[in-house]
Amino acid sequence: MLALLPRLRRFAVGLVRDPVDADDLCQMTIERALRARGQWQPGTRLDSWMYRIMRNLWIDETRSRGRRAATFVGDEAGLGVGASGAQEASLGLADVDRALARLPDEQREAVLLVMVEGWSYKEAAEIVGCPMGTLNSRLVRGRDALMALLGDGA
């Protein structure tokens, strides 16, 4: 489980778009997995099981936040706030991060699982809980949208 932490954190950052919230999501995932360890079936992939736990926690948290918090400004208002590009590893990476953040959740999730994490289409579809064709459609739309956003200067 410890060996999965870097991959889980990278996925969490991609989902929630905030390193602090991503750390919280990782912690909740580990806690849930430890509590439910009896449900994991030996011989199956632990990493896939953990990703599914994380995804379900993220969905639950997103729904919960939406119900209890009122939004006063659009998400776009916060894109220019924070650290300057000098602290980014590269300007191109910052552009990709901003473009990813603008994708719908389902497309961003597909792009993160397949293109960033390297899961196969079948594995990613199992993690997300949708048919492989649906995942493929989300990935294609997400990839096309990313290319358009990056071509426009995100």
Largest CA distance in the chain: 49
CATH number of 1-69: 1.10.1740.10
**pTM exceeds 0.75 for this model:** no
C-alpha span between 7 and 30 (Å, rounded):
13
CATH number of 91-154: 1.10.10.10
| 64 close to 47: Cβ distance less than 8 angstroms | no
Domains 1-69 and 91-154 share a fold: no
pLDDT 10s digits, 108-135? 999 999 988 888 889 899 999 999 999 9
Q: In one letter, which amino acid is 125?
A: A
Residue 68 has pLDDT above 70, yes or no: no
Per 3-state DSSP, the chain is made up of helix, strand and coil in percentages (nearest 5) of 75, 0, 25
Closest by CA position to 53, among listed 36, 68, 38, 69: 36
